[in-house]
A and B are shown apart, each in its own frame.
Chain A
Amino acid sequence: SQKIEQNSEALNIQEGKTATLTCNYTNYSPAYLQWYRQDPGRGPVFLLLIRENEKEKRKERLKVTFDTTLKQSLFHITASQPADSATYLCALDLGSGGSYIPTFGRGTSLIVHP
């Protein structure tokens, strides 16, 4: 079965720096990969989706890369701000059989210090 690995240790960085979060997966490559933000006690919020035939996607200060050879996605937040502090989840879907059911990782906590 598909396993998703996100760093369980919190990432602490200084304001203004670039935060880089990692999502690794095992076995077969997903049709797409998503990143969500979750604040404590709230539901996740969708940020970006990248498809298997895309290497990179950007949205404002966010950038996602997808390397099917390394079986890895990197999520970057440039010019980070304390308001970016949250847990970031990656989710994969095989896209096969029309299931459209993403599998979520445990998430990595990001703490941006002023």
Chain B
Amino acid sequence: DGGITQSPKYLFRKEGQNVTLSCEQNLNHDAMYWYRQDPGQGLRLIYYSQIVNDFQKGDIAEGYSVSREKKESFPLTVTSAQKNPTAFYLCASSPLTGGDYNEQFFGPGTRLTVL
């Protein structure tokens, strides 16, 4: 089955700790994205990557870091510098080529709670 997976589904963190959220896709998509969603809010872009070993900041990158060492993987680290990290985090990928190259495929999300 092709798809995009995120782990864990729920994550609890103490204040001051860094935490890494996993995102893997086997769709052979070039682009991957991280979004944050807060209650009643739209999706806000944190980081995106269109090619291995390259990534760009989105609208709310402060307090987050990413890496793209492999095409299939795009982990997100929430650092202690992120002031309000409790949120629902969504990873997505898109092919960048083909008829619906803009279509985004989303993972199931990780709900992060800071205690």
Contact = CB atoms under 8 A, between A and B. Distances in A.
A and B form one complex: yes
Interface of A: 4, 8, 32, 34, 36, 41-46, 49, 89, 91, 93, 95, 100-107
22 contacts: A4-B42, A32-B102, A36-B104, A41-B88, A42-B108, A43-B107, A43-B109, A44-B90, A44-B106, A46-B100, A46-B104, A46-B105, A49-B100, A49-B102, A89-B42, A91-B104, A93-B102, A100-B96, A100-B102, A101-B45, A102-B102, A106-B42
A106 B102 contact: no
The bracket for how many chain B residues form the interface is 20 to 34
Contact of A41 (B94, B106, B109): B109
Contacts of A103: 45
A36 B35 CA distance: 15
Contacts of B58: 101
Contacts of A95: 102
